[in-house]
Amino acid sequence: MDREPPTKPDEPERCVGVDVGILKFAHDTDGFALGSLDLADERNRLDRERRKLSRKEHGSANWERQRRTVAERYADLKRKRRDFLHRVSAYYAREYDLVAVEDLNVTGMMEWPSNSRNTASAAWGTFLSLLEYKCEREGTHFVAVEPAGTTKECASCGVSTDKPLWVREHSCPACGFTADRDANAAVNILSRGLADVGVVHSEITPSETATATGTDVSTVPASRVTEQGSPALNEASAQARVE
């Protein structure tokens, strides 16, 4: 018998904005950053087995054995990626009353020529789907906001400033606020999410005299999440709040 999902709180107390990216998989408004999952070894093993398969006579017994090996390598890679995404999405759904993310057009992003972008887009799409489902199950508000301008806008004063991808720090020429690029975007995402559900949360507005938040970021390698699971996330998030 399916259990009824918990009722979403009318006034969520623990709220978080999450910005996803390539260099860091996720960066949130609690000062927690999660590195991207490195599956290079798994992809290399898969490529080696595929090359071996291409040298076998199609339809032979050796070809069939190698085909199964390739399928196993692919399944292993897929399992590790999905396990990582399950752990991260479960963490946010359980730890917060409201989770705000960007409403990304993942299908359109998959058409970009860059392979790294395509790979990241695939992970983002799965992550957002899992997060939405888990938030519904846990009674957590899931808010997908308009993504345009979240990186450009200053989280302190709202002035928009163009910056190329290689510039990793936000520095506002209008108010002087400086922050990690992704941290600035995460605050903007949360601000929009709270506005969408009609919640006022004054604590998310950065001080105009704030220094670069990059020095206060607690970064966890994705491998730790894969190996240790949610405790690695909880430990890092708790440490970020203490700092």
The predicted-structure confidence for 33-81, as pLDDT tens digits, reads as follows 888 888 889 999 999 999 999 999 999 999 999 999 999 999 999 899 8
Q: What's the CA gap between 192 and 190, in Å, rounded?
A: 5
> What is the mean pLDDT of the segment spanning 134-146?
94
Residues 6+ apart with CB under 8 A from 89: 127, 130, 131, 134
Place of tokens 């789907």: 129
The pairing of strands 98-102 and 15-20 is: parallel
Decide if 156 contacts 177 (C-beta within 8 A).
yes
Residue 117's pLDDT band, with cuts at 50, 70 and 90, is low
What's the sign of the alpha-carbon dihedral 53, 59, 60, 62? positive
CA distance 233 to 236: 5
Question: 93 is written with which tokens?
Answer: 């759904």
Task: Indicate the pLDDT class of residue 111, thresholds 50, 70 and 90.
Answer: low
pLDDT in tens, 155-171: 888 888 888 778 888 88
Share of the chain above pLDDT 90, in %: 40
Contact assessment for residue 190 and residue 206, using Cβ atoms and an 8 Å cutoff: no
User: Six-digit token pair at 161?
Assistant: 């400033």
